[in-house]
């Protein structure tokens, strides 16, 4: 088993990376009221195994699968279920699924009776390396992704590489976008490692996957420990996301997977960085190679023009004092939040 600790004082918690679901903290296992939130795709595969972790039988609620259901309607559905079940404040909510389930359950946990405990059991690669760690929870709105939410840290994150065996190839590829993101923003050696081990990663060799997931979780844990509520450094984790969220919203949530949109967003960030003289064309080509190596898209959807991006980017969470802010790359393995990108520059580069 691999282990990472998110250091947040009294709210610190472990991330346990294993081949199964056998690493639950004992104090959580004895919880009397447990509610598992999952979806119809994941529940038939893993719900029974997660039920077995607890001394008292959990109840569960299923939310339809897909980004389109990370909504206020689903948020209300879970809250209504908790109220109908007479769930008290000492409940433990368990998020069993990918990023949609994790974000929804966390937001409910932050809101129900002003805050209850929750446990993350992420089953997709994207949620294992990114969204399950750090306490960001949210739902989408037609006018913007993740615009309604709260910071709520879990009690523990249990990562089972077993779940990746049943993950569709497209979903696995989408998760690799977030993996590549960590390399681009903070660890150039990790980028080399990913390219050197690409075949083993695609073959899902367990030891290589565990090593890769641990590295990503450790990078994020370190950043979150220094900047929990994204006042500075944590914003760098949004590399590719300003462009990517615009693609997701414009194309319709779920039509493009989050990781696919972020992959294109990172290519746009790299291209913009090269336009500023920070990256070489060789660097941009290397970014493209790394993404395509894992079957990720690198081109903007044919139906989108730069003018289609602007309304979404202007309402992005990183906008400050009316200025759009972007995460760009002064060099591969380094990232910087910049606030001087103009619409004219965007049109010049991508128009």
| pLDDT tens readout for residues 23-69 | 888 889 999 999 999 999 999 999 999 999 999 999 999 999 999 99
Q: pTM, whole model, 2 decimals? A: 0.93
Rounded to whole angstroms, how far apart are CA atoms 264 and 296?
A: 8
Residue 317 has pLDDT above 80, yes or no: no
Residues 134 and 193 in one domain: no
Residues 154 and 181 in one domain: no
Q: Which of 133, 165, 197 is the last residue of a domain?
A: 165
| For range 201-225, the mean pLDDT | 97
Mean pLDDT for all residues in the chain: 95
User: What DSSP element (H or E) covers 324?
Assistant: none
Residues 195 and 130 in one domain: no
Residue 133 has pLDDT above 90, yes or no: yes
| Paired sense of beta strands 92-97 and 34-38, if any | parallel
| For range 105-115, the mean pLDDT | 98
pLDDT of res. 28: 94
C-alpha torsion angle, residues 59, 61, 66, 71 (rounded to 10): -130
39 is catalytic: no
CATH code of the domain in which 73 resides: 3.40.50.1970
Residues 197 and 133 in one domain: no
Residues 204 and 216 in one domain: yes
114 is catalytic: yes
DSSP structural state of residue 53: T
CATH code of the domain in which 223 resides: 1.20.1090.10
Catalytic residue among 215, 238, 248, 317: 238
Catalytic residue among 77, 241, 317, 325: 241
Q: Is pLDDT larger for residue 77 or for residue 315?
A: 77
77 is catalytic: no
Q: Which of 141, 165, 189 is the last residue of a domain?
A: 165
Residues 181 and 80 in one domain: no
314 is catalytic: no
Domain count of the fold of the chain: 2
241 is catalytic: yes
Residues 327 and 346 in one domain: yes
228 is catalytic: no
Residues 309 and 186 in one domain: yes
Q: Which of 113, 146, 165 is the last residue of a domain?
A: 165
Catalytic residue among 70, 77, 136, 215: 136
Residues 131 and 215 in one domain: no
Domain assignment of residue 23, given as a range:
2-165
Q: How confident is the model at residue 95 (pLDDT cuts 50, 70, 90)?
A: very high
Residues 326 and 183 in one domain: yes
Q: Is 169 exposed, middle or buried (0-12, 13-18, 19+ CB in 10 A)?
A: exposed
Residues 180 and 160 in one domain: no
Residues 173 and 296 in one domain: yes
170 is catalytic: no
């Amino acid at each position: 088993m691999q282990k990472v600790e998110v250091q947040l004082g009294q709210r610190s918690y472990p991330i346990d990376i294993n081949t199964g679901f056998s690493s639950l903290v004992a104090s959580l296992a004895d919880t009397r009221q447990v509610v598992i939130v999952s979806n119809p795709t994941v529940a038939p595969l893993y719900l029974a195994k997660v039920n077995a972790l607890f001394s008292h039988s959990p109840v569960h609620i299923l939310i339809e699968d897909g980004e389109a259901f990370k909504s206020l309607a689903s948020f209300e559905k879970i809250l209504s279920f908790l109220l109908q079940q007479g769930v008290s404040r000492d409940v433990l909510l368990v998020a069993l699924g990918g990023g949609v389930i994790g974000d929804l359950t966390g937001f409910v946990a932050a809101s129900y009776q002003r805050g209850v405990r929750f446990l993350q059991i992420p089953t997709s690669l994207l949620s294992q390396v990114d969204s399950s760690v750090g306490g960001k929870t949210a739902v989408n709105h037609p006018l913007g992704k993740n615009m309604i939410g709260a910071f709520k840290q879990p009690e523990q994150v249990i990562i089972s590489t077993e779940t990746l065996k049943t993950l569709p190839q497209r979903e696995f590829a989408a998760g690799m976008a977030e993996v590549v993101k960590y390399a681009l923003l903070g660890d150039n050696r990790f980028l080399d490692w990913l390219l050197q081990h690409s075949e083993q990663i695609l073959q899902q060799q367990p030891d290589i996957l565990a090593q890769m997931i641990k590295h990503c979780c450790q990078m994020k844990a370190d950043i979150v420990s220094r900047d929990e509520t994204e006042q500075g450094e944590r914003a760098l984790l949004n590399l590719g996301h300003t462009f990517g969220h615009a693609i997701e919203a414009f194309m319709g949530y779920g039509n493009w997977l989050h990781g696919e949109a972020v992959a294109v967003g990172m290519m746009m960030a790299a291209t913009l960085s090269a336009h500023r003289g920070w990256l070489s064309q060789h660097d941009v080509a290397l970014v493209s190679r790394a993404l395509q190596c894992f079957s990720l898209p690198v081109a903007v959807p044919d139906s989108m023009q730069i003018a289609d991006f602007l309304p979404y980017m202007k309402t992005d969470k990183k906008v400050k004092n009316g200025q759009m802010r972007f995460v760009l790359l002064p060099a591969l393995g380094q990232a910087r939040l910049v606030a001087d990108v103009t619409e004219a520059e965007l049109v010049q580069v991508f128009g």
